[in-house]
Copies of this chain bind each other. A is one copy, B any other.
Amino acid sequence: MSDARNGERRTDALTRGRIVAAAIAILDAEGERALTFRALTARLSTGAGAIYWHVASKDDLLAAAADDVIARVTTEPSGEGDARAAIRAVSLGVFDAIDAHPWVGAQLTREPWQSAMVRIFESIGGRLTGLGVPPAAQFDCAATLVNYVLGVAGQNAANARLAAGADRAAFLATIADRWTQLDPTRFPFVHRVTAQLSDHDDRQQFLAGLDLILTGAAASS
Contacts and interface: CB of A to CB of B under 8 A. Distances in A.
Nearest to A125: B189
A122 B184 CA distance: 11
Interface stretch (A20-28, A50-58, A83-91, A152-160): A152-160
A150 to B, nearest CB: 4
Contact of A150 (B155, B188, B214): B155
Contact of A121 (B125, B190, B217): B190
Contacts of A213: 144, 148, 209, 212-213, 216
Contacts of A211: 216
Interface in A66-93: none
A76 to B, nearest CB: 10
B209 A139 contact: no
Q: Closest 10 interchain pairs by CB?
A: A151-B151, A216-B216, A144-B209, A147-B151, A109-B154, A112-B158, A212-B216, A150-B151, A125-B189, A215-B216
13 contacts: A112-B158, A112-B162, A113-B178, A121-B189, A138-B189, A138-B193, A140-B208, A140-B209, A147-B152, A147-B209, A209-B213, A212-B220, A216-B216
